[in-house]
C-alpha cells in the first residue's frame, strides 16, 4: 500500500482543513515530517489510522478538536501489483454529540478508476471489513507495520529469550497453538473414541461372517448357472425345431382358409360381370356428354347475343338524336363567349386598379392618424418635462434652506476635546470605585455563606461518624456468619459431578437395555409380519400352481383337437397344394379332376388362437410364480437375519432385571437430587451472604469515602475562608484609595452625575455625525437635481425637432390622397369599384362555365355514341362466330355418338350414370379382381413355402409337450438361481460393510494414534514455543540481511539457544557481542533492522507488499556522528518500491532528507496546525 493524498480537519490541533500530497512527498523515496513538540506530527499518522479503521492507537478519546467538534479525514492510497493495482479513497466524518460522545456520521470507501468513481463500502463496519479484505491487516497489524517507535524495538532487542517468545506469541497470535489447540485435540480425541466404541458395536454384528461361506454359495451358484446354460442350449434346439414345424403348421391352416375364400368369391362372379357391362356403357356415355353439353351451351349463348344486338341498335338511334341538340347549344354559347369576354376583362382590370389605389389611400389615412397621435404624445411629454423642471427648481431651493439650518445646529452642539478627555478619565475612576465597592460586598457575602456552609458540614461530619461505626459492627457480624457457613459446607460441585456421572452411567445402561428390549419386541413384531406376508404368498403360489396345471391340461386338449382336425382333413389339405400339370405327391397324376372339398379353416384358426392364448396365460403364470417364489425366498432370508439378531438380544438381556435397575437408578437419582438440593441451599445462602456482605462493604466504603470527603471539605473550606478574608482586606484598602481619587476628580470637573454627562456628550457626537451625514446627503441630492435638470432641457429640444418633422410629413401625405382620388374617378366613371368588380367577375365566370359545361356534355355524348356503336359491331361479330361454332360442335357430337356405339342423344342420356356411382362400381369390380388375384397368389405362395413339407397333429402335440417340460425345468432353475443370488447379494453386502468397517477401524486407530502424539506434543506449551522460536529465527535472518545492507556488511545478527540476540562484527574477525554491549548508534541500527523485519513479517499476513513505513521520533538522543550513520543507512534503504518516512523535531535531520513536510504548531485564532511541503 502506498499513500497518495491525505486531507485532515478537526483532528487534535488540526482545526481547518490541511492537505498532505503524499505522491509528491514520497517521490524521492526518503522524506521527513518535522515540527516542534506538540505541533501535530504524529496526528498525521492518527488521521490515516482513523480514515482506514476509525481508531487511533494512542487513545480513543479526546482526539476531536474542541473548537470544531467535527472531524473530517479523507485518505487516498494505491495498492496492488501491475494490472491489479488500484486506487482507493477512504473518508470518515465523526462528530461530538450532546452527551460528549463520538458518532460517525459518514464513512465510505470509493474505488477510483478512469471510468469514474465506484462506491464499494458505506458505513463504519462495512468500510473496516472492506479495508481488512483489501489490505489484509487489522488495526494492530497496520500500526506495527507503519509506525515504528525506536524505543520499543530497542527493548525487543534486549529482552530475554522467554520474554521475547511471549511478545512474539502476542504479536503473531500464537495463543491458538497453546491451550486452545490442546482443548481442540482433546475434544476431537473424545469424538473419535466415541466413534471407536460405536464401530466396535457394529463389527460385533458380523462376528460369524466368513469368506468361506460366501465361496461355498458361489460354487453352488456356478453349478446352477452351468445347468442353466445346458438347459438354454437344449431349449434353443427345441425352439428351433418348434419354430420350423410351427411355421409348417400355420401355413397348412392358412392354405385352407384361402381356399374357402376362393369358393365364396366364385359365387359373386355373375353379378360382377353385369356390373362390368354397366360400367363400360356408363364410361362411353360420359365421353359423349361433353359434346352434348357444348352444343347446348353454344345454342343458349347465340340466343342471348341476338337479344342484346336488338337492344343496342335502339339505343344507338336515341343517342344520335341527343348529340345533334347538344351540338347546336354549344355553338351558340361559343359565339357569345368570343364577343363578350374581351370587353369584360378590360372593365375588370380598371376596377382592380381603382381598388388598389383605394387601399393605398386607406394606409396613408391611417399613417396621418398615427402622426396626429404622435404629435399629441410629443406635446404632452414636453409639458411633463417643463413641469418636472419647475418641480426640481423648487426642491433645490428647499434643500439649500435645510443645509443652512444643519450648519447652524452643528455649531450649537460642538464639545471641547480637552473637557471630553477629563470627563472620560473621571468616568473610569467612577467605574473602578463602583466595581471595587461591589467586589467588597460580594466577598463579605461569600464569607458569610462559607461560614454557614461550614456549620452544616461539621454537623454532617458528626452524623457520618456515627453511621460509620454502625457499618463496622454490621460487616463484622456478617463476616462471622459467612465463615461459620463455609465450615459447614455439604460438598462441592466435584462431588455433585461424580454423583451425576454415576447417575448418567446407570441411566445409559438402563436406556441401552431398554432400547434392546424394545428392539426385541420390534423383532417379534417383524417376525409376525413376515409370517403374515409369507402365508398369503404361499397360498397364492399354490393357487397359481393349480391354475397352471389346469391351463396346461386345456392347452393339451386344444392341441389334440387341432391335430384331430388336420388328420381328418389331410386329403383336403393336400389337394390345396395340387397344381395342374404337376404330379400329385400321393398318386403321381398330373391331372387333378376329383378334388376333395376344402377343410374348414375357421375351425383350425379358432383352435390355434385359443392355443396361443393359453400359451400366453401359462407364460404369465410362470413369470408370476417365479416373482412370488423370489419374494418368499427374500422373506425367508430376512426372517433368518432377524432371528439371528433376536438370539443376540435374548442372550444380552438374559439374567437382567430391568425393574431392579430402574429402582437403582431412582435411588441414585434421589441421592443426587438430595445432594444437589443441599448444595443449592448452601450456595444460595452463601451467595446471599456474599451479596449482603459485598453490599454492606460497598455501603461502608461509601460512608468511609463520605467521611474522608467531608473531612477534606472542612479542611478545604477553612483554607478558602482564610483566602477570602485576606482578599477582603486587600479590596478594603484599595477602596479607600479609590474613594479619595474619585472625589478629587469629581470636584475638579464640577459635575454631579458623570455618567449622565458622558452619555449626553456621546449623544451630541452621534447627533453631529447623523446631521453631517444628512448634510452630505442633501448636497449630493442638489448635484443630482442639477444633473437631471440638464438632461430634461436637452430632451425638450429633441421633442421640438420631432414636432416639426411630424407636421411636415402630415402635409405631404394629404396631398398624395387627393391625387389618388382623382385617378379613381377617371377609372370607374362614378361607379363603386368593389361592387362593379364582383359583377364583372361573376359575368365572365358565368359565360365560361356555361361554355365549358356544354363542351363536356358534347364530348360525353360523342363518347357514348362511340361506345354503343362499338358494342353493336362486337355483337354482330359474336353472332357470326356462335353460328359457325354450333355447326362445328354438332358435327363433333355425331362423330362421338358413332364412335361410342350410340344411335342418338336420348340413348346416351339413358346410360348416363353419376360419376361417383360409376367410381363405386369400378371400385367394387377392382376389389373383387384384387381379392381373387390375392387369394390365388397366396395359395401359390403357401405351396411354394411348404415345398412339400407337412406335420401331423400328434407329432405337433408331442413337440409342444416337450417344450413345456423344458420351460418348467428352466423356471425352477431360475427360481433357485434367484434365491441363491439374493442370499449371495446379502452376504456380499455384509462382507463389503465388514471390509468398510475394518478400513474405518484402521483409519480411526491411526487417527487416535496421531491425536495421542499431538496431545504429547502440545503439553506444557511446547508447540507455541517451537512456533515462536521459528518466527524469531526468520525475523533474525531477515534483520541480519538488512543490518548487513545498512552497515555495509559489517554487522550481522544471530540468536543463541535461549533465543537471545547476538551481534556478529565481521570487521573484527566475526567477534560475537551481547546486545547490552552495543553503543547507542549500533543499538539504533540493530533495532531498526529488527523493526523492519518484524514489520515485514506482520505485513505478510496482509494482501500487499510493504511499500512505506514511518519511523516516529527516536533521533533526539543521538549525537551528530550517529545521526550521520542512521541517515546514511536510511538513504541506502529506500528504493522505488519502498518509501521511508521519519518523524522528528531534530533540526539537523531537515537538511538530510530531499523532501520534508513542515508542521507549524497551532496559534490562537489562526485555524490550528498548518502544513507545508519543502524541498531541500
Which H, E and C letters describe 548-609, residue by residue? HHHHHHHHHHHHHHHHHHHHHCHHHHHHHCCCCCCCCCCCCCCCCCCCCCCCCHHHHHHHHH
Q: What is the pLDDT of residue 90?
A: 95
pLDDT above 90 (res 1039): no
Q: What is the pLDDT of residue 21?
A: 92
Least confident among 569-583, 931-945, 1121-1135: 569-583
Residue 901: enclosing H or E segment and its boundaries? none
- Measured CA distances, 280 to 277, 284, 285, 627, 893 (Å): 5, 6, 9, 68, 19
Ramachandran angles phi, psi of 106, nearest 5°: -150, 130
Q: What is the pLDDT of residue 9?
A: 92
Average pLDDT over residues 786-800: 77
For 160, the grid coordinates are 530475554
Q: What is the pLDDT of residue 569?
A: 60
Position 345 in a domain: no
Q: What letter would DSSP give residue 21? A: -
pLDDT exceeding 90 applies to what percent of the chain? Answer: 3
Q: Look at the block and give the residue holding cell 397366396.
A: 938
For 954, the grid coordinates are 400328434
Q: What is the pLDDT of residue 165?
A: 63
Residue 105: enclosing H or E segment and its boundaries? strand 102-113
Q: What is the pLDDT of residue 449?
A: 84
Position 1088 in a domain: no
Neighbour tally for 1059: CB within 10 Å: 20
SS3 sequence of 1099-1162: HCCCCCCCCEEEEECCCCCCCHHHHHHHHHHHHHHCCCCCEEEEEECCHHHHHHCCEEEEEECC
Neighbour tally for 1116: CB within 10 Å: 10
Q: What is the pLDDT of residue 361?
A: 77
Among 1121, 1034, 1124, 1046, CA closest to 1089:
1046
Q: What is the mean pLDDT of the chain?
A: 78
SS3 sequence of 903-919: CCHHHHHHHCCCHHHHH
pLDDT above 60 (res 589): no
Q: Per DSSP, what are the bridge partners of residue 1110?
A: 147, 1141
pLDDT above 50 (res 842): yes
How many Å separate Cα 547 from the centre of its chain? 69
Q: CA 1145, CA 264: separation in Å to the nearest integer?
A: 134
Q: What is the pLDDT of residue 1101?
A: 54
DSSP E strands in 840-961: the ranges are: none
Q: CA 1120, CA 241: separation in Å to the nearest integer?
A: 122
Least confident among 64-78, 221-235, 393-407, 1104-1118: 1104-1118
pLDDT above 70 (res 1152): yes
Residue-wise pLDDT for 9-36, tens only, equals: 988 888 889 999 988 888 888 888 988 8
Neighbour tally for 528: CB within 10 Å: 10
For 764, the grid coordinates are 451630541
> Do the Cβ atoms of 1115 and 1146 come closer than 8 Å?
yes
pLDDT above 50 (res 597): no
Domain-terminating residue out of 612, 628, 659: 659
Q: What is the pLDDT of residue 150?
A: 44
Among 324, 319, 330, 323, CA closest to 855:
330
Strand order in the sheet with 1061-1065: 1051-1055, 1061-1065, 1071-1074
Highest-confidence segment of 19-33, 314-328, 906-920, 923-937: 19-33
Q: What is the pLDDT of residue 515?
A: 80
pLDDT confidence band for 1020 (50 / 70 / 90): low
Position 124 in a domain: yes
Q: What is the pLDDT of residue 988?
A: 80
Residues 6+ apart with CB under 8 A from 798: none
Position 484 in a domain: no
Average pLDDT over residues 703-723: 79
Position 914 in a domain: no
Domain-terminating residue out of 633, 659, 685: 659
Residue 356: enclosing H or E segment and its boundaries? helix 269-412
Q: What is the pLDDT of residue 121?
A: 92
Residue-wise pLDDT for 969-1004, tens only, equals: 877 877 777 777 777 777 788 778 878 877 888 888
Residue-wise pLDDT for 468-493, tens only, equals: 888 888 888 888 887 887 777 776 66
Average pLDDT over residues 857-883: 82
Least confident among 512-521, 571-580, 955-964, 1079-1088: 571-580
Q: Per DSSP, what are the bridge partners of residue 119?
A: 110
Position 203 in a domain: no
CATH number of the domain bearing residue 4: 3.40.50.300
SS3 sequence of 222-242: HHHHHHHHHHHHHHHHHHHHH
Is the C-alpha dihedral spanning 947, 952, 955, 957 positive or negative? positive
pLDDT above 80 (res 1046): no
Domain hosting 609: range is 494-574+595-659
Q: What is the pLDDT of residue 600?
A: 57
Among 555, 588, 554, 557, CA closest to 574:
588
The 3-state DSSP composition of the chain as helix, strand, coil percent (nearest 5) reads 75, 10, 15
pLDDT confidence band for 602 (50 / 70 / 90): confident
Average pLDDT over residues 441-455: 84
Q: What is the pLDDT of residue 795?
A: 76
Domain-terminating residue out of 614, 644, 659: 659
Q: What letter would DSSP give residue 121? A: E
Position 132 in a domain: yes
- Measured CA distances, 254 to 248, 881, 928, 940 (Å): 10, 69, 20, 12
- The number of folded domains in the chain is 2
Q: CA 869, CA 307: separation in Å to the nearest integer?
A: 16
Residue-wise pLDDT for 192-219, tens only, equals: 888 877 777 777 777 677 777 778 877 8
Q: What is the pLDDT of residue 596?
A: 45
pLDDT above 80 (res 504): no
pLDDT above 80 (res 580): no
Q: CA 90, CA 70: separation in Å to the nearest integer?
A: 17
For 408, the grid coordinates are 447652524
Residue-wise pLDDT for 241-299, tens only, equals: 777 777 777 777 778 788 888 888 788 778 888 877 777 777 787 787 887 888 788 88
Residue-wise pLDDT for 886-896, tens only, equals: 888 888 878 88
Residue-wise pLDDT for 92-113, tens only, equals: 998 887 777 888 888 999 999 8
Position 424 in a domain: no
Whether the model clears a pTM of 0.95, i.e. scores above it, the answer is no
Strands 1139-1144 and 30-34: parallel
For 566, the grid coordinates are 388336420
Q: What is the pLDDT of residue 586?
A: 47
Amino acid at each position: 500500500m502506498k499513500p497518495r493524498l491525505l486531507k485532515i480537519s478537526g483532528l487534535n490541533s488540526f482545526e481547518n482543513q490541511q492537505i498532505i500530497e503524499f505522491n509528491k512527498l514520497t517521490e524521492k523515496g526518503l522524506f521527513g515530517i518535522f515540527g516542534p513538540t506538540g505541533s501535530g506530527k504524529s496526528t498525521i499518522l492518527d488521521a490515516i489510522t482513523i480514515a482506514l479503521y476509525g481508531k487511533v492507537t494512542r487513545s480513543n478519546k479526546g482526539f476531536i478538536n474542541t473548537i470544531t467538534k467535527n472531524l473530517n479525514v479523507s485518505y487516498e492510497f494505491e495498492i496492488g501489483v501491475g494490472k491489479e493495482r488500484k486506487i482507493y479513497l477512504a473518508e470518515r466524518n465523526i462528530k461530538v454529540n450532546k452527551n460528549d460522545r463520538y458518532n460517525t456520521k459518514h464513512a465510505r470507501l470509493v474505488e477510483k478508476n478512469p471510468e469514474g468513481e465506484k462506491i464499494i463500502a458505506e458505513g463504519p463496519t462495512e468500510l473496516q471489513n472492506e479495508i481488512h479484505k483489501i489490505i489484509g491487516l487489522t488495526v494492530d497489524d497496520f500500526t506495527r507495520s507503519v509506525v515504528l517507535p525506536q524505543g520499543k524495538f530497542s527493548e525487543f532487542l534486549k529482552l530475554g529469550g522467554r520474554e521475547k517468545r511471549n511478545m512474539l506469541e502476542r504479536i503473531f497470535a500464537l495463543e491458538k497453538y497453546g491451550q486452545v489447540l490442546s482443548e481442540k485435540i482433546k475434544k476431537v480425541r473424545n469424538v473419535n473414541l466415541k466413534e471407536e466404541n460405536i464401530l466396535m458395536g457394529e463389527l460385533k454384528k458380523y462376528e460369524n461372517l466368513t469368506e468361506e461361506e460366501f465361496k461355498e454359495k458361489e460354487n453352488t451358484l456356478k453349478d446352477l448357472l452351468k445347468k442353466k446354460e445346458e438347459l438354454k442350449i437344449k431349449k434353443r434346439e427345441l425352439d428351433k425345431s418348434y419354430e420350423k414345424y410351427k411355421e409348417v403348421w400355420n401355413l397348412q391352416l392358412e392354405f385352407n382358409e384361402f381356399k374357402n375364400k376362393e369358393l365364396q368369391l366364385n359365387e359373386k362372379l355373375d353379378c360382377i360381370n353385369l356390373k362390368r357391362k354397366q360400367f363400360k356403357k356408363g364410361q362411353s356415355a360420359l365421353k359423349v356428354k361433353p359434346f352434348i353439353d357444348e352444343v347446348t351451351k353454344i345454342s343458349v349463348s347465340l340466343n342471348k347475343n341476338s337479344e342484346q344486338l336488338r337492344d343496342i341498335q335502339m339505343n344507338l338511334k336515341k343517342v344520335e338524336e341527343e348529340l345533334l341538340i347538344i351540338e347546336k347549344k354549344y355553338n351558340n354559347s361559343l359565339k357569345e363567349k368570343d364577343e363578350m369576354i374581351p370587353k369584360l376583362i378590360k372593365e375588370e382590370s380598371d376596377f382592380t386598379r381603382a381598388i388598389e389605389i383605394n387601399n393605398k389611400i386607406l394606409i396613408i389615412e391611417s399613417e396621418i392618424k398615427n402622426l396626429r397621435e404622435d404629435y399629441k404624445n410629443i406635446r404632452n411629454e414636453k409639458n411633463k418635462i417643463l413641469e418636472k423642471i419647475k418641480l426640481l427648481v423648487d426642491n433645490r431651493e428647499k434643500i439649500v434652506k435645510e443645509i443652512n439650518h444643519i450648519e447652524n445646529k452643528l455649531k450649537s452642539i460642538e464639545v471641547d476635546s480637552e473637557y471630553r478627555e477629563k470627563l472620560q478619565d473621571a468616568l473610569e475612576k467612577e467605574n473602578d470605585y463602583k466595581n471595587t465597592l461591589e467586589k467588597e460586598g460580594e466577598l463579605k457575602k461569600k464569607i458569610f455563606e462559607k461560614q454557614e456552609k461550614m456549620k452544616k458540614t461539621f454537623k454532617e461530619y458528626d452524623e457520618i461518624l456515627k453511621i460509620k461505626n454502625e457499618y463496622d459492627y454490621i460487616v463484622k457480624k456478617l463476616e462471622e456468619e459467612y465463615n461459620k457457613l463455609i465450615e459447614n459446607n455439604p460438598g462441592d460441585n466435584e462431588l455433585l459431578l461424580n454423583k451425576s456421572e454415576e447417575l448418567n452411567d446407570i441411566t445409559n445402561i438402563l436406556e441401552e437395555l431398554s432400547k434392546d428390549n424394545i428392539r426385541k419386541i420390534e423383532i417379534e413384531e417383524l417376525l409376525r409380519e413376515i409370517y403374515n406376508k409369507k402365508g398369503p404368498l404361499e397360498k397364492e403360489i399354490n393357487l397359481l400352481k393349480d391354475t397352471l396345471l389346469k391351463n396346461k391340461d386345456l392347452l393339451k386338449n386344444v392341441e389334440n383337437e387341432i391335430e384331430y382336425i388336420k388328420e381328418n382333413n389331410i386329403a383336403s389339405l393336400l389337394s390345396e397344394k395340387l397344381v395342374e400339370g404337376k404330379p400329385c405327391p400321393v398318386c403321381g397324376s398330373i391331372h387333378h379332376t376329383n378334388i376333395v372339398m376344402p377343410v374348414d379353416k375357421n375351425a383350425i384358426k379358432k383352435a390355434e388362437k385359443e392355443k396361443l392364448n393359453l400359451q400366453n396365460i401359462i407364460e404369465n403364470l410362470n413369470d408370476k410364480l417365479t416373482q412370488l417364489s423370489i419374494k418368499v425366498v427374500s422373506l425367508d432370508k430376512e426372517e433368518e437375519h432377524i432371528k439371528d439378531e433376536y438370539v443376540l438380544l435374548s442372550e444380552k438381556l438374559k439374567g437382567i432385571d430391568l425393574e431392579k435397575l430402574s429402582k437403582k437408578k431412582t435411588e441414585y437419582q434421589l441421592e443426587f437430587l438430595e445432594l444437589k438440593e443441599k448444595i443449592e441451599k448452601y450456595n444460595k445462602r452463601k451467595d446471599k451472604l456474599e451479596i449482603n456482605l459485598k453490599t454492606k462493604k460497598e455501603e461502608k466504603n461509601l460512608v468511609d469515602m463520605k467521611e474522608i470527603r467531608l473531612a477534606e471539605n472542612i479542611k478545604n473550606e477553612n483554607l478558602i475562608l482564610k483566602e477570602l478574608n485576606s482578599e477582603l482586606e486587600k479590596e478594603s484598602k484599595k477602596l479607600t484609595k479609590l474613594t479619595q481619587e474619585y472625589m478629587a476628580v469629581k470636584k475638579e470637573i464640577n459635575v454631579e452625575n458623570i455618567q449622565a454627562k458622558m452619555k449626553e456628550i456621546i449623544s451630541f457626537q452621534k447627533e453631529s455625525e447623523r446631521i453631517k451625514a444628512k448634510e452630505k446627503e442633501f448636497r449630493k441630492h442638489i448635484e443630482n437635481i442639477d444633473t437631471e435638470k440638464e438632461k430634461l432641457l436637452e430632451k425638450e429640444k429633441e421633442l421640438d425637432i420631432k414636432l416639426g418633422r411630424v407636421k411636415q410629413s402630415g402635409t405631404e401625405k394629404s396631398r398624395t390622397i387627393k391625387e389618388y382620388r382623382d385617378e379613381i374617378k377617371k377609372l370607374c366613371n362614378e361607379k363603386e369599384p368593389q361592387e362593379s368588380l364582383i359583377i364583372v367577375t361573376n359575368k365572365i365566370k358565368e359565360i365560361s362555365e356555361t361554355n365549358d359545361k356544354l363542351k363536356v356534355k358534347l364530348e360525353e355524348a360523342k363518347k357514348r355514341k362511340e361506345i354503343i356503336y362499338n358494342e353493336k359491331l362486337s355483337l354482330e361479330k359474336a353472332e357470326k362466330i356462335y353460328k359457325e361454332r354450333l355447326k362445328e360442335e354438332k358435327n363433333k357430337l355425331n362423330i362421338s355418338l358413332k364412335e361410342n356405339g350410340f344411335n342418338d342423344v336420348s340413348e346416351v342420356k339413358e346410360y348416363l350414370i353419376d360419376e361417383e356411382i360409376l367410381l363405386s362400381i369400378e371400385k367394387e369390380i377392382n376389389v373383387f379382381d384384387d381379392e381373387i388375384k390375392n387369394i390365388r397368389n397366396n395359395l401359390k405362395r403357401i405351396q411354394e413355402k411348404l415345398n412339400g413339407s407337412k406335420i401331423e397333429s400328434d407329432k405337433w402335440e408331442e413337440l409342444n409337450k416337450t417344450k413345456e417340460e423344458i420351460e418348467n425345468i428352466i423356471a425352477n432353475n431360475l427360481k433357485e438361481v434367484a434365491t441363491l443370488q439374493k442370499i449371495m447379494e446379502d452376504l456380499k453386502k455384509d462382507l463389503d460393510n465388514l471390509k468398510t468397517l475394518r478400513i474405518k477401524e484402521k483409519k480411526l486407530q491411526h487417527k487416535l494414534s496421531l491425536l495421542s502424539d499431538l496431545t504429547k506434543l502440545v503439553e506444557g506449551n511446547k508447540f507455541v514455543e517451537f512456533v515462536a522460536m521459528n518466527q524469531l529465527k526468520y525475523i533474525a535472518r531477515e534483520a541480519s540481511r538488512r543490518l548487513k545492507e545498512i552497515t555495509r556488511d559489517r554487522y550481522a545478527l544471530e540468536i543463541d539457544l535461549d533465543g537471545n540476540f547476538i551481534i556478529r562484527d565481521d570487521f573484527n574477525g566475526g567477534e560475537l557481542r551481547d546486545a547490552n554491549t552495543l553503543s547507542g548508534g549500533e543499538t539504533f541500527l540493530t533495532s531498526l533492522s529488527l523493526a523492519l523485519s518484524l514489520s515485514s513479517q506482520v505485513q505478510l499476513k496482509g494482501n500487499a507488499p510493504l511499500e512505506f513505513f514511518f519511523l516516529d521520533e527516536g533521533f533526539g538522543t543521538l549525537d551528530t556522528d550517529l545521526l550521520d550513520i542512521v541517515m546514511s543507512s536510511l538513504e541506502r534503504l529506500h528504493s522505488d518500491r519502498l518509501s521511508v518516512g521519519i518523524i522528528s523535531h531534530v533540526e539537523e535531520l531537515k537538511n538530510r532528507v530531499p523532501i520534508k513536510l513542515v508542521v507549524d504548531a497551532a496559534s490562537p485564532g489562526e485555524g490550528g496546525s498548518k502544513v507545508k511541503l519543502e524541498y531541500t
